[in-house]
Amino acid sequence: METILALHRKEAQGSFVKLALESGSNILAATPPRVISNGYDLLCVCEGLCCFLYFLVDRKLILLGTYLFRCSGNTQVLSVIVDEDVKNFTESYRAHTAVAGGEDILRFSADGEVNFVAFIGDALLIGSSAGFLGTLFVSSDRRCVRGKSTRVQERCGVHWCLRYDSKQCVCISSDTVTVVSIVPESRDAICYRRDSVHDAVASVGASQTMSGCFFLAHKNLRALTVLHGSPDETLQSETFPLFSEEWGRCVDARQGIPNVYAYGCSDACLLAVVYPDAVSFTAWNGHALVSTAVVTNELTIPFMLALWKSTAEGARLLVMRSDSRCLMYDVVMSKRFSGIEEIVAAHQVTLPSYMACLMGGGDTGVLLCWPSGTLLASHTALLQCSADEEKFEAIEVHGIVNYSPNSDSVLLLEVIPMRGSHGVVCLYSTGECRLSLYNNTGTILLALEEHPYDATSCLAFEDSSGGYYCVLGFSDGDIRLFLGAEMRANIRATHCGAVDRLLKLPKMNEADETSFLSISTVMGTVCFHTEENASVSRTMCSPSKPLTAYFLDPELEFALLFSGTVANLWHIPTGLLERVLRSPQEQLDPRLVNLLEPYWASPTCTARFRFLGQAHYAICTNVDSLVSGLISTQESSHRLTSEYSCALGLLLHFLGETCPASITRGDDLWEALDDLGLVAAGVQTQECVWSAILLLCGLLSHTSDGICGAEIYCLIESLSDKLACSVAPDLHRQVDVMQLFLSRFYTLQRSTPAAFRHALRLLVTKMPASRLADVVNLLQSRELAAQSRQAREGEIPGAPSHAYSENLLASLLIVSSLASQRGDFSLQSDTGLCSFLHNRIVEVQHGVTVAIEDDDNLLRWSAALLGSVESYPIVCVLDEKNLFSGLMKALVKKAFGARGGEAHQVTLEALQRLIAQDPQDFLCNYIVEDFHLNVAYRPYIIVFLAHFVKSFPYEAYSVFSTIADIFVSGLTNLGSGNKSAASIYHVAVKQLLRVANTYLPNVSLQQSLRHLAVGGGDGKVMVYSVEGASIVTAFKAHSAPVLGVAYSSNITTLDIATVSEALDKIKVWRSPGQPSDIATFFRGSGATNFKLVTSMDLPLIDLRGEGMSLLIKLFQLHWLSPQCVEFSSPWHGRVLVSLP
């Protein structure tokens, strides 16, 4: 769970477009641009979510438009941005020109993530991972672009490929293959069925010579799956190994994801499957494999993209390596059969960039390279000379965003440690670099840079005299050092590529002069610099380009520079290379720090992204990390409190909520950004609202102050009203978020605080009924698919695990249970879903009941057990409560008959959750029975009830009279047993009473006389003698349920104070007996009545929603003295009542 708030300049808040980013969107992914062409004069540059369409004329690239998928309601719309106009291609089978959408908000989600861009002739195809396909038809004169958008499949994680000769686009999902014709006015589609047995698909291709034949390459398997058949039958499947057994043992299939490239060559279909370390060539006659060949990458520098080009003897494959080398392999076709005769390594060319495509058409096509690096690089591209392959000349790019030297847009933004806190460094396009410190008003000028657009990284730190150094890294490898806004040093070409990270480094020893280090990931180099003049003291490099991770040990003695899984181990003090090793990064010592992660290793940080050719920044808040940390630590440390309050302050500011004074809110980051002229602005999304609710729920579960608790609760209720009207994420993303939340906070390894149960209930309650039905249906379809694939685990590469399937089932049952409690959502009206849920609950009940007997098996079934106990509301709706009888008995037997171990703790947690569903029924019908039948279980049952009170205080509050009856009945029989058992039971009872007295306001223990007063839901107060093991008396105190009880410590007057849930009066009751009668009273004999002594009216309040259940532990009633009672309430504060 993460929120992303896009930052804007204050002066630009009225700009033509606003961004709303869902956390599932890949807009923050730092993936390099992709360059695709039609082979002649059309070019598409795909950068993040945007596709820039150009055409080449007179050695110039002219922009035709910027195309992207964006959210509109619950679907994706293909839009075009030309100048400052946003227009849409509405969903249709017929191509048309774009029309104005009338919206100034661009909302992006994971469903709009572009995973496919390709040309068929003059048509550009843009496909998303959620099955949306946009098709753009460019007129022959290149002046008009018509387009259409449709959803080919309602699936996520689809793959795309093309059949060029037949002008068809193929969409492949887990169970369906859909083929659509790429013509301006076609709605026809051909659908093939396939078995859902190949889930870990990385890339796909279609046969160029045979319809109904498709090739699938897998993520963790070096083999190719061929699907073939007709639309009338399920596609047949065959799997072929791509490498020999001997060579296959020498490689790790997990090292890289393959890409499939298909090419029609006469009667054969050539297929190249490009891995980082090898290329597999195969020739196919229909679906029959004719010949194979393999070429290997002799270097550790990985292969990247590839292009086919026709030749007289067959075809040529151009393979781009990450070091910008283009390797050319000629595939010579046999004249005797339709297969490969040989593979010839033709030659190599060094390119300006590995992002390249073919332009000019046919056999004479040349390469066009799209440079990477700084923003200004987008103004030019490089075209290969036809006469000399080694030479490239610059061509102009027209139509991209023009940068004005008078503008002050943000080019670089970094949050860095400073003065024991943090500061924000910002480089503007005007050349000014400024620092804004936390808890300090205003900014400090650090530098004035003449070429700010070439800067790629920045850093600031203090010098010994209180001034500030500023370091800027550049795209050409230069590093400039400033002090007091004046340049102190300019180190030329420290790296031969862009400097993308600068970090402050503590001194290794007194003699060491190292102050900071610079990193160029693209070149794989790290340099250590001195403070005085930024000179380089030592240099390190990675095994190959690029540098993917840089781990530093805390003692600053060793550094590991990774390229993939291969690392160079350097000794830092001497600057010597110790060894080269291969190791998965996840197996390293957790104390090692990866310096390529953000400076501020915090759940709240800034992130850079590219949009419309410009650099933008956003604030990312990892709510999952914050809340999980709060729950695991129980008590907030200073650092956690600072991070938590900072994230909460940002979200409340963004949502326009006023934070009460009693809640600590950190505004440091917000104010620092404000001083720099930056604000988080945009549409309020449901993700932001719910994230703020989760953070508030975390605070609520940890607060012990009533006033603070009430203010937090009121804020939660205010935000909950915004859930219904805020912009909802796309359906798949919403289900992903709910699954993530459930996996983090609904687990049998620990209890779920009431506030988080309330947060999930709010999300389900505020959701429109139709949307909730879609969520339940999507969870059901995911669960069915996972079950189907998991059932064939041995046949499927990368099949889902049993735990994954069980977690999906638990999510479905939990959400369905909450949905069944809504008045406008009827499970019984959907007979299909109703029958499905009933059958799955019965299956899970049987499986879990059997698994309980075996500890290891029970742990494997823990998610299913969780879903089963949470599904109790569903069986109540179906009027089949008896389904839980067997499970309840099995849980009771396991919980109280077993001792210790993780499986035992899982059972206890499951039993607590099940009892909380219907406390009175389960306690009376199962726990009481087991308590009386199994004497040996009694201490364990009492300890279990103490944990139940702590985990579910409101549920325990409503039935504590029953709990009191249980443990008091156990006290009556202790005299006949052995002293050891009696002592154990007394210890357990003391624990229960201590916990109840702490968490429940309707329980009060008279310490000196060991009497217990318990307020009940019927308005009565029961008085028990713990030593006498009997009920002393009972009296009617209120007409409403008794909320609070306080037993006076004064044994002379026997005073008891009470307050009811109506919160209208505080009453004080007294027994009128004489001392001799009092002695009889405290021995538990005789009938003594309590009479009302005094009452005091309380101010009337409006208790909203579930305030009582969430804040129950914050109500307190206790005696300050024999003559004064204090009532503490989240709404009333402190109220004192004096006796007459």
804 and 725 within one domain: no
843 and 741 within one domain: no
759 and 782 within one domain: no
Query: Two tokens at 627?
Result: 């809340």
Cβ contacts of 619 within 8 Å, gap of 6 or more: 4, 5, 7, 604, 605, 606, 607, 650, 669, 673, 680
How far CA 206 is from CA of 96, 128, 156, 214, 265, in Å, comes to 28, 18, 20, 4, 14
pLDDT in tens, 473-515: 998 889 999 998 899 999 987 888 889 899 888 877 777 788 8
Instruction: Say if residue 125's pLDDT is above 90.
Output: yes
CB 293 within 8 A of CB 306: no
Q: Which of 845, 860, 884 is the last residue of a domain?
A: 884
Partnered with residue 685 across adjacent β-strands are 727
Residue 303's pLDDT is: 86
Average pLDDT over residues 924-952: 90
Stated as kind and residue range, the H or E segment containing 427 is: strand 421-428
Predicted TM-score (pTM) of the model is 0.82
Give dist(CA 169, CA 121) in Å, integer. 13
Q: Which of 767, 797, 827 is the last residue of a domain?
A: 767
Range with lowest mean pLDDT among 65-74, 521-530, 759-768, 967-976: 967-976
Residue 102's pLDDT is: 65
757 and 801 within one domain: no
Residue 699's pLDDT is: 86
515 and 543 within one domain: yes
**Which ranges in 724-871 belong to alpha helices (H)?**
731-745, 754-766, 769-791, 802-820, 831-851, 855-860, 862-870
Give dist(CA 491, CA 502) in Å, integer. 14
Instruction: Say if residue 778's pLDDT is above 70.
Output: yes
Please check whether residue 12 lies inside any domain of the structure. no
What is residue 129's three-state secondary structure?
coil
Residue 400's pLDDT is: 59
Please give the full DSSP string across 892-923, using - where no structure is assigned.
Answer: HHHHHH--SSHHHHHHHHHHHHHHHHSHHHHI
Please check whether residue 1095 lies inside any domain of the structure. yes
CB 282 within 8 A of CB 262: no
Average pLDDT over residues 203-212: 91
Over the chain, what is the mean pLDDT? 84
* Angle, CA of 639, 640 and 645, to the nearest 5°: 105
Average pLDDT over residues 348-357: 88
How far CA 322 is from CA of 349, 428, 451, 543, in Å, comes to 13, 31, 28, 13
Which amino acid, 786?
Answer: A
806 and 699 within one domain: no
865 and 750 within one domain: no
Please check whether residue 948 lies inside any domain of the structure. no
Residue 403's pLDDT is: 42
pLDDT in tens, 229-280: 988 888 999 989 888 765 554 455 445 689 999 999 888 999 999 998 899 9
- For CA atoms 609, 615, 619, 625, give the dihedral sign: positive
Please give the full DSSP string across 454-491, using - where no structure is assigned.
Answer: GEEEEEEEE-TTS-EEEEEEETTS-EEEEETTEEEEEE
Please check whether residue 871 lies inside any domain of the structure. yes
818 and 733 within one domain: no
- Model confidence at 792, pLDDT cuts 50, 70, 90, reads low
pLDDT in tens, 866-897: 998 999 899 888 888 888 888 898 888 888 88
680 and 554 within one domain: no
Average pLDDT over residues 178-197: 83
Average pLDDT over residues 598-605: 62
Please give the full DSSP string across 540-569, using - where no structure is assigned.
Answer: EE-SSSSP-EEEE-TTSSEEEEEETTEEEE
Query: Two tokens at 1046?
Result: 């306080």
745 and 679 within one domain: yes
Residue 254's pLDDT is: 47
Please check whether residue 450 lies inside any domain of the structure. yes
Average pLDDT over residues 396-420: 71
Instruction: Say if residue 637's pLDDT is above 50.
Output: no
Decide which of 661 and 777 is more confident.
777
Average pLDDT over residues 192-201: 72
Q: Give me the number of domains the chain comprises.
A: 4
Please give the full DSSP string across 351-403, using - where no structure is assigned.
Answer: -S-S-EEEES-GGG-EEEE---SSGGGGGEEEEE-SS-TT-EEEEEEESSPPP
- Model confidence at 636, pLDDT cuts 50, 70, 90, reads very low
For the chain, how far is it from start to end, CA to CA, in angstroms? 56
Which burial class, exposed, middle or buried, applies to 972 when counting CB atoms under 10 A from its CB (0-12, 13-18, 19+)?
Answer: exposed
Residue 655's pLDDT is: 86
Average pLDDT over residues 380-393: 88
Q: Which of 844, 860, 884 is the last residue of a domain?
A: 884
Residue 576's pLDDT is: 93
Residue 618's pLDDT is: 84
Range of the domain at 849: 772-884
Decide which of 1086 and 840 is more confident.
840
Residue 969's pLDDT is: 87
Please check whether residue 391 lies inside any domain of the structure. no
CB 763 within 8 A of CB 745: no
How far CA 370 is from CA of 35, 52, 363, 868, in Å, comes to 7, 12, 21, 55
Please check whether residue 793 lies inside any domain of the structure. yes
Cα atoms in the 13 Å half-sphere on the side-chain side of 428? 21
- Model confidence at 1105, pLDDT cuts 50, 70, 90, reads low
Give dist(CA 796, CA 799) in Å, integer. 5
Instruction: Say if residue 1081's pLDDT is above 60.
Output: no
- Model confidence at 346, pLDDT cuts 50, 70, 90, reads confident
Please check whether residue 401 lies inside any domain of the structure. no
584 and 525 within one domain: yes
CATH number at residue 1042: 2.130.10.10
814 and 716 within one domain: no
pLDDT in tens, 947-996: 999 999 999 999 999 999 999 888 877 766 677 888 888 899 999 999 99
pLDDT in tens, 71-110: 877 788 899 987 777 888 887 778 888 888 766 678 887 7
Which amino acid, 832?
Answer: G
Give dist(CA 203, CA 218) in Å, integer. 7
Nearest one of 695, 682, 660, 643 to 438, comparing CA atoms: 643
